[in-house]
Structure 1
């Protein structure tokens, strides 16, 4: 079949594991996503291996192993400093918690192992020595016709691991496949079960949906399946929230957010979540004025607080949460940047979050009123710097005020901010100028 495996050190290490297992009389194959991706001609990131050997036997064959998942029949084998997951064939068992099997029963054949997997396209076994594929569930046919289908009944597969509902959406988007009707109906029925998943697993799958192909369609699928209402009710609430058509001809807040997601050229995790959350404060601040116009007073501040709650619940790192919330809180200030004093826009450009904020603003504009004057202005100012420091070293520091007799406190901070602002506006140019200004005015 001549599958698309690069014959590099990574592949050769995996091949050596298969050979070592077979030399000792054990069946062994490449399995799952690597086989699927090789058939589709996409980049292969991991090679998973299954075998009839038990964990104890795997450990005895290879010099370097780690038993991080031995209870589930998984052993990490290290070849040339590369880690490979080697799993023993397993049978279907019952699941009570929607994630872990009640017991692990080892199997003897790949066919038994295939029947406990999630989707047909992930249940393909490849023999690189014979260049042949074992397919017990018509996975090859589903790949050819572009159909995502579970092995057995969808409801049963999802009850084994509720995360499979989110994975079904991600796979559909990633490969541009159709989804079997049974999958869609089962997800709608079981969507509340996703609340039982660990926040970290939910976070990673949602991020994969938002940063993968067709994230706008992904948001639609999350909404239509009922998962969005369960996991992100604040995002669900954006549906139907009208906006002034002169600024948002594209439609309501939900449609605007979808359009922004579709305009991400190279989505980072931070940008994708900043886009998703940038208008999350609009539903709770929505009001209609006497003249009939929709308003969202302080929606950015409100959205930042909601964003912080969501990101903390999903256990994002603190720096990630701070950056996204900062971008959400300040995403409206770019509208008036051309009227700002140099000190103000230079401070914006100098911020560590500026690249994130600028791209969020650009995508916000092209997804609504098309007004990109502020974006162009800031980009020009950035280019003008030509790699030079945006903000100069401060003329004064806290110790200078202490030497003048000031005590740290609210006034202390206000004085330093005032001096810095005047410095950026070129009203104060030297340390002596700043000290003299303080002596005269404070």
Structure 2
């Protein structure tokens, strides 16, 4: 059947009856989502039918391509590969802010199309917007110029990037279809592939602070993303990484930027952030053809961070996108600070044996550091710093966290939320491994339906 013969009703009927999406149907529906000829009711029925009936791998690839092609697809004419990274979201996860400049320092170009916080998870754009003057939503011409001159740009998607996804995402949020792996895959990849990438490395989080709490669910999503991205023509690998606690010792926009700059400048290196950044960067350099294997790539990322070259690229990026030209040198003075700071002490001696990382993320939202609805304004100064980690031994009265709040009442609520999220036991505990599993582009068969 030609695409001209389709209409929403026969596409929805085929999905309802388990016949899937015939060739051309995804392209027709994506155009209808983008131009408004498909109604909200039809978009909701489309999402629900896919959620219930599922798609085959070829259909996932077709839907992803169709949503990518519903708007502008960037084309680059540069002298090195164009690479990016995507995380499925977590707490204290500021890896993107380290990785983009580190990769640029290693000789690849990174147009990092990023998102805002979602639910309990932090957003890369919200972190960058904690920097005064930083323009996180530049037009395409500015994006091209900054990437070409600096090597990296951490920005948001314009209205022209994957408009079908923007429409369908809003419908999914109110129709109970957010959890569909088919739709998650198409949503994530349509935006990333519209950036004109030659390679993509994925950080799929698993644990109490991730959207995928169970390893099997995280593995299924990672395999879907890797298979579809490669099927759509972008060489892609994934690392499944731990999110049973905050990745950094800080959670909150300006506080995470401080932690990143401390790591970039070497003044107070967060080893977990560094190690996950290096692993993802090493994988990305293999995809770019600039490293023979992941270990060789990790060495290059380590050198970019150790030498200060990554910090120099970060500073140039901030300045090129409207931020302070001396940001790297004077970041503590350039970022907002909360008026109320309160230390929370350990209520008993023992070992931190469990952390409800999702609850920590929601506590940041309650402090004003995230959004409950899209129109909420974020307070970039609030959050937690100095978070105690799994396996850490604490003594009664010893500080476990420093709360940064707008007022005493908020600090009271955050204190109660923090203490409820942490479990201290007499039995020794171990910190979980940061890198749980690798799913490489060379491990996935295009026809894999997992």
The normalised TM-score by structure 1 is: 0.27
Structure (1 or 2) with the larger CA radius of gyration: 1
Task: Name which structure has the greater RCO, CA cutoff 8 Å, separation 6+.
Answer: 2
The normalised TM-score by structure 2 is: 0.27
Normalized per residue, the structure richer in strand is: 2
